[in-house]
C-alpha cells in the first residue's frame, strides 16, 4: 500500500491513519517582547534616581514571570 491509498486493493483492509501529535504552542513573540520590556523597565526603576526598593522590584518581576507562565499555560490548554 502507498500513503495515498485508503484501503488495500487485495484484502480491502483500511489503512491505519497516523496519529497527529500536537506539541505545546509557544506564547506569541509579542507577549515575550512585552514581558522583556516590562522586566527591563522594572530593572531601570531599581537603578534610577528615584529607586524602587528591592522587595518591590522582586515582587513586580515575579508577578510578570507568573503572568507570562499562566498565559503560556492558558494558550496551550486552549489549543488541546
User: d(Cα 25, Cα 11) in Å, to the nearest integer?
Assistant: 41
Q: Is residue 22 part of a domain?
A: no
Q: Which of these, 17, 27, 23, 40, lies nearest to 67 by C-alpha position?
A: 27
Q: What is the pLDDT of residue 18?
A: 62
Count of structural domains, the chain: 1
The domain of 67 spans 29-79
Segment 13-37, tens digit of pLDDT = 776 666 555 566 666 777 778 778 8
This prediction has a pTM of 0.51
- Domain membership of residue 19 (yes or no) is no
Kindly state the cell numbers that stand for 61: 518581576
Residue 15 within a domain: no
Amino acid at each position: 500500500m502507498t500513503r495515498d491509498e485508503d484501503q488495500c486493493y487485495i484484502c480491502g483492509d483500511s489503512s491505519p491513519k497516523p496519529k497527529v501529535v500536537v506539541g505545546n504552542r509557544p506564547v506569541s513573540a509579542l507577549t515575550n517582547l512585552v514581558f522583556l520590556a516590562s522586566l527591563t523597565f522594572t530593572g531601570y526603576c531599581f537603578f534610577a534616581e528615584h529607586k524602587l526598593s528591592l522587595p518591590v522590584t522582586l515582587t513586580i518581576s515575579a508577578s510578570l514571570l507568573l503572568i507570562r507562565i499562566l498565559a503560556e499555560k492558558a494558550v496551550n490548554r486552549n489549543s488541546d
